[in-house]
């Protein structure tokens, strides 16, 4: 009898050991890495956004859970011309890491030179923009324009990869138009010349931002057995529920979010909590929104100077205050205020009125 029990216990222990092994294996393999940069199990990335994802905005996204962030796109021509506007966009801070600096351009030499300039700024990653649909970029065969000539895209990527020691990643779209959605082949060829991750916006250039992002081709890229680099899905994610649904349905390695983060950096932690165990974090209350505005404004002024900091902050107020009842008069005052003190006063009045009317602050 005793021997039987000992045998049984031994068998159980062996079983537990093998469970443990399997569990560790699963964990090991599910860790997403760009080259040797570890990003956790299922990273939520801040998308590059011109005039939005600057250091003040990134500070808030990082604070609220962004696992990796990208700068707005920077012109390769601007960098090699030493244009002040482009150089300033290279400004990154240690607390933002891991961070990618995004570059665009259609000229191979300019792209190679600019990769070397970016390397000196020391980001974790150099990202090439092959997704910008804007005419003035596209007509130079830069951004999404290069999707019309996949051979050139591969050649240019190869040269950039060879010109730097930093990992190179790519952000692109499904294709130029409905007749050229070659992303599965494109991703494979870009991987072959050495990119370390790819982010795919589920639209074509022709669609610009219209219609609904189609993630089925992003899933095809991910399911291609030849692909071994991380594939990040992008397009239309605007809630924790949608993020989890898309994660499960399309099997991507992580999600990149753009528009839904503007005025709502809380979305990163909301998504992460929901993906972890379907916890729904509370929505930020008015006081938290106002505190975010204050921090964003202060960082903008510190980084851009008072005049530009105030001016460029104007595009953010409506987003931070979306959904607050009777907000219009305050919004109008905020976008016409001429000094930080004036803005502070408007925000204080807003809190006072909310308290008087016993509007929910918590």
Ligand X SMILES: Cc1cc2nc3c(=O)[nH]c(=O)nc-3n(C[C@H](O)[C@H](O)[C@H](O)COP(=O)(O)O)c2cc1C
Tokens of residue 195, six digits: 């990119």
Which residues of the chain form contacts with ligand X (CB under 6 A)? 47-50, 52, 72-73, 102, 129, 131-132, 171, 201, 234-237, 257-260
CB of 53 to ligand X, least distance (A): 7
Q: Which residues are catalytic?
A: 132
CA distance 158 to 194: 7
Choose between 52 and 117: whose C-beta lies nearer to ligand X: 52
Are 126 and 35 in contact, with CB atoms under 8 Å apart?
no
Pick between residue 256 and residue 334 the one whose CB is nearest to ligand X. 256
Show the DSSP H helices in the chain as ranges.
2-30, 55-63, 76-81, 84-88, 108-121, 135-138, 150-162, 183-192, 216-223, 240-250, 267-277, 286-304, 306-320, 328-336, 340-356
Least distance from ligand X to the Cβ atom of residue 148, Å: 17
Give me the least distance between CB of 24 and ligand X, in Å please. Answer: 34
Q: Is the dihedral of CA 181, 184, 187, 190 positive or negative?
A: negative
Nearer to ligand X, 88 or 339 (CB): 88
Query: Between 141 and 354, whose beta carbon lies closer to ligand X?
Result: 141
CB of 259 to ligand X, least distance (A): 3
Residue among 120, 126, 188 nearest 154 (CA): 188
Quote the least distance from Cβ 238 to ligand X, whole Å.
7
Instruction: Tell me the residue nearest to ligand X as measured from the CB.
Output: 258
Of 41 and 238, nearer to ligand X (C-beta) is: 238
- Range 266-271 contact pairs with CB under 8 angstroms and sequence separation of 24 or more: 266/64, 267/64, 267/238, 267/239, 267/240, 268/44, 268/46, 268/61, 268/64, 268/65, 268/66, 268/67, 269/64, 269/65, 270/240, 271/44, 271/65, 271/237, 271/240, 271/243, 271/244
């Amino acid at each position: 009898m005793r021997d039987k029990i000992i045998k049984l216990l031994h068998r159980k222990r062996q079983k537990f050991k093998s469970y443990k092994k399997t569990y560790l294996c699963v964990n090991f393999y599910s860790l997403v890495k760009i080259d040797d940069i570890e990003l956790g199990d299922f990273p939520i990335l801040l998308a590059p956004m011109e005039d939005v994802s600057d250091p003040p905005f990134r500070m808030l996204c990082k604070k609220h859970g962004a696992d990796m962030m990208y700068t707005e796109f920077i012109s390769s021509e601007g960098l090699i011309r030493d244009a002040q506007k482009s150089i300033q966009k290279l400004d990154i801070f240690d607390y933002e890491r891991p961070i990618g600096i995004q570059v665009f351009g259609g000229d191979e030499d300019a792209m190679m030179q600019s990769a070397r300039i970016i390397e000196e700024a020391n980001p974790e990653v150099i990202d090439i923009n092959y997704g910008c649909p804007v005419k003035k970029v596209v007509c130079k065969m830069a951004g999404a324009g290069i999707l019309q000539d996949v051979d050139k895209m591969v050649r240019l990527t190869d040269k950039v990869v060879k010109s730097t020691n930093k990992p190179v990643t790519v952000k692109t779209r499904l294709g130029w138009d409905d007749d050229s959605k070659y992303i599965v082949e494109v991703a494979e060829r870009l991987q072959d010349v050495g990119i370390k991750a790819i982010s795919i916006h589920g639209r074509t250039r022709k669609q610009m931002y219209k219609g609904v992002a189609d993630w089925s081709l992003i899933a095809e890229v991910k399911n291609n057995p030849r692909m071994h680099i991380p594939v990040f899905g992008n397009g239309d994610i605007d809630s924790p529920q949608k993020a989890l649904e898309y994660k499960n349905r399309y099997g991507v390695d992580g999600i990149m979010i753009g528009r839904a983060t503007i005025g709502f950096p809380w979305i990163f932690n909301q998504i992460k909590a929901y993906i972890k165990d379907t916890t729904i974090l509370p929505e930020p209350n008015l006081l938290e929104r106002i505190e975010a505005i204050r921090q964003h404004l202060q960082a903008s002024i510190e980084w851009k100077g008072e005049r530009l900091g105030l001016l460029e902050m104007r595009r953010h107020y409506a987003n931070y205050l979306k959904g607050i009842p009777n907000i219009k008069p305050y919004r109008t005052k905020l976008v016409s205020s001429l000094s930080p003190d004036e803005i502070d006063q408007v925000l204080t009045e807003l809190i006072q009125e909310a308290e008087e009317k016993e509007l929910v602050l918590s």
